[in-house]
Amino acid sequence: MDQRHATALKAAGMKATPKRLAILEMLEAEPGYASPEELWKRLKDRFDRLGLPTVYRNLEELSASGVLSKVIHPNRQLYYYFCSNREHHHHFVCLSCRKVEDIPACGIEALEQEVSKRNGGKVLSHILQLNGLCGGCADNGEKR
């Protein structure tokens, strides 16, 4: 567990600090995505000192390194999700309970090539995310 995360951090060229490991542990245990502040509130107890900016900074770095993934939320706040799927794929995120489900890569690579060929441009990244309500939430009609 710890060792896995430490290894992942090293592989990303980042020091395996206790706080980073704690962030990864907590997010991995999380059933869905979480906000920086939520994580901070829960992690504060485990450290005598832990700044909110540290959580922000690490989440961003970890997401940039591909260790975590970021959720694009309609309310434009930041949310992160621990995703161990190393294949190229996308996410279906529940706006109610925050569950995240993997979506296998679809035809996007082909689309990228198509765009490159037709317009001569270069696709640097793409965003594909399905928003909705997962099975449970759709039944209950819950909203968050």
Partner DNA sequence: CCTCTAAATAGAAATGATTTCGTTTTAGAA
Partner DNA sequence: TTCTAAAACGAAATCATTTCTATTTAGAGG
> What is the binding site for DNA (CB under 7 A)?
6, 9-10, 14-20, 35-37, 47, 49-54, 56-58, 60, 76-78
**Among a second copy, DNA, none, residue 11 binds (CB under 5-8 Å by kind):** none
Residues 63-92 within binding reach of a second copy (CB under 8 A): 72, 76, 92
* Angle made by CA atoms 130, 105, 73, in degrees to the nearest 5: 25
Exposure string for 20-42, b = 16+ CB within 10 A, e = fewer: bbbbbbbbeebebbbbbeebbee
Sole binder of a second copy in the list 6, 12, 26, 123 (CB under 8 A): 123
Amino acid at 23: I
d(CA 34, CA 104): 22
* 31 versus 107: smaller Cβ distance to a second copy: 107
* Angle made by CA atoms 138, 74, 116, in degrees to the nearest 5: 110
40: CB partners within 8 A, 6+ apart: 50, 52, 55
* 31 versus 120: smaller Cβ distance to a second copy: 120
Residue with tokens 């592989």: 11
State the nearest-atom distance from the C-beta of 68 to a second copy, in Å: 16
* 18 versus 136: smaller Cβ distance to DNA: 18
Binding site for a second copy (CB under 8 A): 72, 76, 92, 94-95, 101, 103, 106-108, 111-112, 115, 119-135, 137-138
